[in-house]
Amino acid sequence: MEYSRWTDSKWFAFYNESFLNPSKEDQIISLWYKDQSAESTEAFAYNKVKFFKKLNIRSLYPRANDDEAKEAIDIIKLFVDDIDRQFAEDDMK
């Protein structure tokens, strides 16, 4: 699933389903940032990214401005919500 594309954003973000380790905490989001001079590609597990704040984004992607960092946080929230829904039944056990 894609959350953002470079056609309308500096972010390209997509869900990398973890087939090797199918637990909720190990689901992965790839969060790539692109500007005119560089490209930063990172991937993060659910258990790490669910606590990200704008400060985390700014430290990992120093070329991202405040609005872009907020957009990244919004993208991450969509991913976290999707994973929470996907694993809701497992969470009830």
Residues 6+ apart with CB under 8 A from 42: 30, 31, 32, 60, 61
* pLDDT, tens digit, 9 for 90 and up, residues 1-45: 899 988 889 999 999 876 676 889 889 999 999 876 667 888 999
What predicted TM-score, i.e. pTM, was given to this entire model?
A: 0.86
First to last CA, the chain: 26
Across the strands, what pairs with 42? Answer: 31
Domain assignments of the chain as residue spans, ordered by start: 2-88
Which residue has 């907020």 as its token pair? 70
How far CA 50 is from CA of 37, 38, 59, 64, 76, in Å, comes to 29, 26, 16, 19, 7
